[in-house]
Chain A
Amino acid sequence: MTELQQPSLAAQIESALRSAPGVRSVYRSGSLVSNLIGRGAAALGLGDGDEPLVAVMRDGESASVEASIAVDSAQSTTETVRSAQTVVERVLGAAGVEMSEIRLTVVHVQEP
């Protein structure tokens, strides 16, 4: 599989996720180590720190997406994450990209 990051598509998905009902914020996907390395690189001027927080791996006409989100406790987390999945599907569909896999993880349920 050719793993190629898709920054613009990732930015679109991140923006759509932030607007999805019940989603409060989007966090960087990946391990603590990779996040710390990313922050270190940004501090050294090797990145602007504004890279999309959503990971999109492109393989031909399809793509896999990984995102970590915080959701609002006032709404059911299970419903929110399913609706976030639909939002991602719509963005990919509009871009003419087939979804090979989507991995969404709720990392924080925020109180009002």
Chain B
Amino acid sequence: MSGSTTLGPVHQAYLLQARQMQALSFMVHIPLVAFGIAFPVMVLFAEWLHMRTGDPLYRVLAKRWSKVMVALFAVGVITGTILSFEMGLLWPNFTATFGSVFGLGFAIEGFSFFVEAIFIGIYVYGWDRLSPRAHFASGIPVVIAGFTGSLMVVAVNAWMNHPSGFRLVGGHAVDVHPLSALFANTYLWHELVHMYIAAYIVTGFLVAGAYAVGRMRGRWGRYERTALLIPLSIAALASPVQILVGDWAARDVATTQPIKLAALEGLGQTQSGAPVHILGWYTDDQVKYGIPIPKALSLLAFHDPNATVKGLDSVPASRRPPVNVVRVAFQTMVGIGTAIALLGVWFLVVRVRRRRLPESAWFYRAVALAGPLSVVAMIAGWVTTEVGRQPWVVYGVMLTSQAVTGAHGIPVAYGTLALIYAGVAIGVAWVLRRLARAPLDLPPADRTVAASAGD
């Protein structure tokens, strides 16, 4: 299968460091991207409330959020730039061989970024300088571009996981059909929907979490209640839905990438009526110390309790991903996903039955925790997808070891990037604290009152 490639073979002693550098770059970019996708919607909703009700509180809210939005957008832009550089810095042979197949996705994405950057500029610097209607309208392209941008990147990733639209002849891609490679790919749709919802969960819980922490410290008035309600409602609705979509994703993986599914579940041998194991550790071709649920895997993956599921033994050891990395990541995602879905349902039930916000302090502690946890779930999900695809960079076509650069000094680059990213993280944390502390510009009636008198 994996024959020659466009630039020919190289020896790279630091493949592992290159992979880690790629992983680090993604882990920094992806949470920011979540904000790029979901936050504009929340900001615009607050502004729409202001237009509809004439209530200045919503305007204050939208304006304050938009400052956070633009700061995070700036960091999203630069971390994304690093990723695009890494396509050549780390994986030149991947780009040289397949750029003509998948590159179109990024080229179109470039225009999304243009639209997003232009209108975020107009929106954020246009408060007080545009008519209310024009200002609101200038935010809409930001929302659309956030969607199309992630559509394009995810299309590329889906192609890497389920490649089509070309033939490889003597290491060169021929018969290339970029449109069908990117968009006629069945693998795209679950990834897109799952990622998009993840963005809403992450943004919703992180923003709500900030106000939940504020409530514990006694900052709780009409402003804070509104600022909590909007993101929390979104996250609470999205998190149960995510379980259904995740189940869909797993069924797609089962049919297109059986080895990844086997790694997710630690299934050593091909068998019918395969079980699911909760927790445990994969050694000696099986899961030890886990809680087995007989036939569950066959049922979940193929809707038939006796279906045959391929095991890791169906490919040679050199073609298997690192099982425990993938499996622990997957279980982490599913565990967190289940927990935050329960939290969401708690909120929905109280809200629908009692027509108010939950009052238990435990609820707010859980919301504060749900933000960071959902970031962990999202990263764990990408680890599942990407490490689960290893050793392939293009599934079944090109090995990651064939894609890598022949340049020296990867560990130095990796160390430098890690250092710089630590600095970026400190800078972002610092500016967010500063923005949160800026005094609220509200009429006295809406100012903070003590938590007990709040509701």
Instruction: Decide whether A and B assemble into one complex.
Output: no
